[in-house]
Amino acid sequence: VQLQASGGGLVQAGGSLRLSCAVSGFTLEDYSVTWFRQAPGKEREGVSCIASSTGITYYADSVKGRFTISRDNAKNTVYLQMNAVKPEDTADYYCAVDLTKQKYWMSCTLRLAQPWTWGQGTLVTVSS
């Protein structure tokens, strides 16, 4: 099982960035996926998630209205579109899947305390 996050980089405040999470070793359409981030000196936090069977999405309050999560099951990829970014969005961004959840779970979670399988992070730096 692998999750490969990419698309990070340096962006000015107010700009946009799209992160990608390419998965392999499992069928993406069967599982919900969550994006997390971790800023220097801070705890990792859930940013957004998308459910497998329903496409239901959840967002942290800090990114609601600015970030959009989506998935392309045919490409085995989950995206995080980041608009109107702020310096406080600076962090390593990770995608994760909980393979212990039943397939086709109709929801998703931003909770950190789950048995996640993690991908490597991609660094997003927002300059003011």
pLDDT of 88 > 90? The answer is: yes
Q: Which of 93, 66, 94 is nearest to 81 (CA)?
A: 66
**One-letter amino acid of 30:** D
Q: Would you state the pLDDT for residue 114?
A: 93
Q: Which of 14, 8, 7 is nearest to 86 (CA)?
A: 14
pLDDT of 89 > 90? The answer is: yes
Q: What is the pLDDT of residues 35-44, one digit of tens each?
A: 999 999 999 9
Q: What is the pLDDT of residues 19-33, one digit of tens each?
A: 999 999 999 999 999
Q: Count CB-CB contacts under 10 A for residue 106.
A: 12
Q: What is the pLDDT of residues 55-71, one digit of tens each?
A: 899 999 999 999 999 99
End-to-end CA distance of the chain: 37
